[in-house]
Amino acid sequence: MFFNVNVSNGVPVYEQIARQVANAIANGGLGVGELVPSVRNLSRELAVNPNTVARAYRQLQGEEVLETIRGEGLVVMKGARAKCRANRKKVMSQRILSVLLEARQSHLSDEEIQSILDDALKASKKQATRNKIEKGDS
Amino acid sequence: MFFNVNVSNGVPVYEQIARQVANAIANGGLGVGELVPSVRNLSRELAVNPNTVARAYRQLQGEEVLETIRGEGLVVMKGARAKCRANRKKVMSQRILSVLLEARQSHLSDEEIQSILDDALKASKKQATRNKIEKGDS
Amino acid sequence: MFFNVNVSNGVPVYEQIARQVANAIANGGLGVGELVPSVRNLSRELAVNPNTVARAYRQLQGEEVLETIRGEGLVVMKGARAKCRANRKKVMSQRILSVLLEARQSHLSDEEIQSILDDALKASKKQATRNKIEKGDS
Amino acid sequence: MFFNVNVSNGVPVYEQIARQVANAIANGGLGVGELVPSVRNLSRELAVNPNTVARAYRQLQGEEVLETIRGEGLVVMKGARAKCRANRKKVMSQRILSVLLEARQSHLSDEEIQSILDDALKASKKQATRNKIEKGDS
DNA sequence: GTGGTCTAGACCACG
DNA sequence: GTGGTCTAGACCACC
């Protein structure tokens, strides 16, 4: 359950946090009924504004992944794991599809697209391995 | 050489214009030494503010794809076609790679990723065909 | 870190701003990772439109000298100092070279050119000294 | 008396023409009392708009370098040669001085400036030699 | 508070 | 006619 945020990344910080929490749930790192880290703790750990963490959590509440237990904090809802898994896949699919569609409408040929895909797949495997080893970055 | 912009797309209008012009160059629709549509004409045609078109063109100047001929207009620079083709491919690769990397670091398995890719590829082909037939959309 | 602009100078205001910021970085007045003055503040201070400052900053982003931290502001990128120093020298060299080339192709003799250079060098030293003393000008 | 213009140069075409005519006069290529090429001829030869040539000539009239002889055309005025020589030197000096001043106010050291000057001087000599040999460019 | 985008409209130099 | 610059002001997302 180690989160990290990249501020100079284009992707809003609150989104990065929300995604990583959702991923943790999808992978079982955070189980149903468990408390997520408190806004204050997490914000300190990530060195971001508490409002930002709060916003990430709010978004996950809106997606019915987290719910507030009065006097306790935010916990993972029942059914959240399946939802996160499904959602993760759906988002991935949409993103890839949109890139591919744009590639087509810019007249890249099937062969070019295929070769780009193959290269990216290989590169991602290599990079993933590297990250697993290094395990530290900025 | 028919450009179109989608205002509620997330992607900034000036970027859409710049990309489409760059694509036109990459595909030979706009040849080296040719004048691109004038700022005022294109802005009228696309129903956007002239400044927005100007900004798109300015960006392409920064990339050394266009250059201005004083009192004449903007023309496609020598070597622009290769640059646009290479750039298009590079951008595509980066985008796909970043999605794949995120997929990996969210612990999706190789099989899941592969199946998502295959589905997206098929879907994109179908959609491309549809677009070719319809030839008009929003 | 005192910037100033000369509106009736031929040189576009946004360029003057961009250069001065780049120089501040080259000279260490603005360190890597530091926030540059906010668009609104600087525009107020210089009495120019915020868009003009924004354009200057945008240009420096394109040169990978600045990058935006969402919700925070613009900071000096890693490696920016070296880049700015190198660039400053390059620009100077090009400008001088182009003047010299034109002098040559207008058939000025070596001796004339050399004498002009010497005079200009002396004059610039004197003027620089004067500016250091006065420390205020229009 | 071979003129050439560079449209994608930043320098206004009419200025390039005016300068080259003035240089021809300074070098004796065009003698006092001689007719300069007609607007129509020169514009055809340079492939530029006649208005542009006319403007260049107008500027030289303003500088009292050319004068119109009714029914004849434009001729080089008495004293034009000295004036052009002086002017050429003055313009050169000003341009070099302004570059040097900017270099100083951007905190380049004396040594850096001197080295840049030396390099530029050497480079300009080399380039000038090359141009003399090649004698053709775009 | 920060920057980013877009619109509207004015003025300039150039050809 | 062309692009380039600048201003003024609105609206957005993010932190």
The phi and psi torsions of B79 (rounded to 5 degrees) equal: 85, 0
pLDDT class for D137, splitting at 50, 70, 90?
A: very low
Distance CA(A121)–CA(A115), nearest Å, equals 10
Could you tell me the sign of the dihedral formed by the alpha carbons of C114, D125, D20, D12, in that order?
A: negative
Instruction: Please write the tens of the pLDDT for every residue from B54-88.
Output: 999 999 999 999 999 999 999 999 999 999 999 99
Cut 0.95: pTM above it: no
Q: For residue D65, what pLDDT is reported?
A: 97
Name the residue in chain D with its Cα closest to that of C94: D120
Distance CA(B11)–CA(D99), nearest Å, equals 41
Residue B59: Cβ-neighbour burial (10 angstroms; 0-12, 13-18, 19+): buried
SS3 B91: helix
Instruction: Compute the radius of gyration of chain C from its Cα atoms.
Output: 18
Residues in CB range of C78: below 8 A, 6 or more apart: C32, C33
DSSP secondary structure string, B41-56?
HHHHHHTS-HHHHHHH
Mean pLDDT, range C108-136, rounded to an integer:
82
Per-residue pLDDT at A75 exceeds 90? yes
Per the CB < 8 A criterion, the answer to whether C116 and C106 are in contact is no
- CA separation (Å) from C81 to C54, C119, D3, D39? 20, 32, 42, 51
- Rounded to the nearest angstrom, the gap between the alpha carbon of residue C54 and the centroid of all alpha carbons in its chain is 16
Mutate to test the interface with A, among B11, B85, B102 (most CBs of A within 10 A): B102
Mean pLDDT, range D82-109, rounded to an integer:
92
- CA separation (Å) from A56 to A25, A88, B45, C109? 14, 16, 41, 71
Q: For residue D28, what pLDDT is reported?
A: 92
Question: Hey, what's the torsion of the CAs at D4, D5, D9, D12, to 10 degrees?
Answer: 140
Distance CA(B134)–CA(B129), nearest Å, equals 9
Per the CB < 8 A criterion, the answer to whether C35 and C72 are in contact is yes
Q: Which of residues 70-99 of C touch A (CB under 8 A)?
A: 70, 72
Instruction: Please write the tens of the pLDDT for every residue from C4-37.
Output: 999 888 999 999 999 999 999 999 999 999 999 9
Instruction: Please write the tens of the pLDDT for every residue from A84-137.
Output: 999 999 999 999 999 999 998 888 888 999 999 999 988 888 877 776 666 544
Distance CA(D44)–CA(D122), nearest Å, equals 37
Between residues D2 and B32, which one has the greater pLDDT?
B32
Mean pLDDT, range B123-133, rounded to an integer:
79
Distance CA(C62)–CA(A50), nearest Å, equals 32
User: Of C67, C70, C72, which is closest to A12 when you measure between CB atoms?
Assistant: C70
Per-residue pLDDT at B136 exceeds 70? no
Per the CB < 8 A criterion, the answer to whether B105 and A131 are in contact is yes
Closest CA to B88 of B24, B36, B23, B12: B23
Residue C64 sits at the chain A interface (C-beta within 8 Å): no
pLDDT class for B134, splitting at 50, 70, 90?
A: low
Q: For residue A132, what pLDDT is reported?
A: 65
SS3 D89: helix
Mutate to test the interface with A, among B20, B25, B96, B134 (most CBs of A within 10 A): B96
